[in-house]
Chains A and B, each alone.
Chain A
Amino acid sequence: MEDKDKKIVSLHLKLMPYLEKYGILLLLVIMILVMHILQPDVFLSWRNVTNVFKQISWQSMLALGVFMVIVTAGIDLSVGSIMMLSLMILAVVAKAGAPWYIVVITPLIAGFLCGLFNGLGITLLRMPHPFIMTLGTLYIFRGTGNLISGGTPISGFTDEVRYLGHGRIDLQWLGLEKSQYLPVSLVLIAIVYIIFWIFLNHSKTGKWIYAIGGNPNAARASGINVNKILVIVYSLCGFLSGIGALILAGRTDSGYPNAGLQSELDAIAACIIGGASFFGGRGTVLGVFAGVMIMGILRNGLNLMDVSSFWQQVLIGSIIVLAVYIDVLRRDLGTRK
């Protein structure tokens, strides 16, 4: 009897690291299977799959930025507003007749500067928590976006500006049909996620970001300039929101006042579903991607089945609570108290 228990415990210890790393992917695969069974003709069709990726394209940028912030045990509530402000600046610059390469780079710079503003505010003004600074800038950035645009939508961008959000990579040379193209935004997601995966897992700065989340005092005592790293993290988060703005500009062909409204909450939800811990130091880039996908597939699948969007809210909320409860259970088993 005791031997049997020991075996279960040791098996459990062996499985733990894999579950911790890939458990969320398991959930994603199960969801895909369920959706496929429920909607066998549509769900896994080329058209629908590319649709899902197009829908999650800008959210995935916001989620990745917020994820880095959450790893440092911080929070960024302003990403939706950063994206909206960057989008509005892009629209205004485009309407002023600037060449496309200027238009394309403006949201990236604007997003970066907004993030820098957050980072400097949190560190220099010694805000008691990033929640407060970014709650403030949630209003400041959206207000500024409406001020510069007059609170009205501005639409009509050139094809170059719309390329990242709207572009298609033709696959006819592979013998596929014309409708079976690859969205440029999908390739962009892949590239950005791989770059940030390398950055967070294989660079010194990335390791320090995790160390700050694990124990900021340890990081400080190791000679790491914690404030500098935090400023970098919030700036990168803003930069990613700027990329989100560029994608959204391509998708919608307009800058509009409600862009990114409440999308900071979606971004946070994707991180939490993906296994990031609010206490910092925990979570993976792969997990965030899975979190974004789970939310995207859930919305897409429920739309396909004509389920009311009110039910979508209920379900997404339930998944957040469930995912975190599973995380709590897992940590109870995995950590020494």
Chain B
Amino acid sequence: MSSTINPLLEAKGITKYFGTITALENVNLKVHAGECLGVVGDNGAGKSTLMKVLSGLYKPSAGSLFFQGKEEILESPRDSQNLGLEMVYQDLALAGNLPIGENIFLGREPTKDLGFIKLLDFNKIKELTNAHLDKLKINVKSADQKVEELSGGQRQAVAIARSTAFNAKVVIMDEPTAALAIKEVGKVLDLINSLKKTGVGVIVISHRMDDIFTVCDRVMALFQGTNFAEANLSNTSRDEVIGWIMGKK
């Protein structure tokens, strides 16, 4: 994971204003293939705004994004998805009233062409869903189960499965373990580790030092919308990272 290899995703000088409020100022970030970057910071430090810029939900006021060395302008989440840049939102961004399979393929549903009309291919959705859940070793009763019937950990697993169903190269996770029971946290962290092994670059935003120190290779701290500190995990400690969050070096 040396920084001499080209990063998979790199953000340079990202600045974002909301009216007169400066949410991000000149923020840099990079993540390599197979690497997990932890992003920490206090509430309002700009973590979520940065992630929304990376996923194409917000357009930055200034700064540029490079994906595999090429500059990209993201107009919508669809653009970032097309690049292989996927986001797992804190509020999970799942539709509880739809089954697991339809959530995983939401917006990108496979269809069968009847010549004059294109209809959803439910068999294919089910087939692909089962194969994908098996690959990630996620256990659910059936791909037809509605998401609202699942536990928090299962929902998080579905959200992660959703983000990786289309050959994702970078997966960004916003507080992936925040709403989970303790025994479910381990499963989600295992899932992140297995994603890394497949060469996916992972960005984890988290408040939990346990998460950061279990799955991340590198950690960076935001403070009041700017880059504050950054280090490889092996060169830092929990106490130091907690200090960064509070703005102390």
Contacts and interface: CB of A to CB of B under 8 A. Distances in A.
Nearest to B152: A336
Contact of A207 (B76, B94, B102, B117): B102
Interface residues of A, number: 24
Contacts of A214: 95-98
A126 interface: no
B77 A203 contact: no
A218 B119 contact: no
A202 B89 contact: no
Describe A's contact surface by its main secondary structure.
Answer: helix
A217 B107 contact: no
A223 B81 CA distance: 8
Interface of B: 55, 57, 76-78, 81, 87, 89, 91-98, 102-103, 106-109, 111, 117-120, 148-151
B89 A217 contact: yes
A210 interface: yes
Describe B's contact surface by its main secondary structure.
Answer: loop
Contacts of A207: 98, 102, 106, 109, 120
B63 to A, nearest CB: 22
A221 B57 contact: yes
5 contacts: A203-B117, A203-B119, A211-B106, A221-B89, A222-B106
Contact of B95 (A198, A203, A211, A334): A211
A237 to B, nearest CB: 20
Given A202-B120, A211-B106, A223 B76 contact: yes
Interface string A205-241: 0011011011101111111100000000000000000
A270 to B, nearest CB: 21
A204 B78 contact: no
A223 B77 contact: yes
Nearest 10 CB-CB pairings of A with B: A214-B95, A223-B78, A222-B107, A281-B97, A214-B97, A221-B93, A218-B93, A222-B106, A202-B119, A215-B95
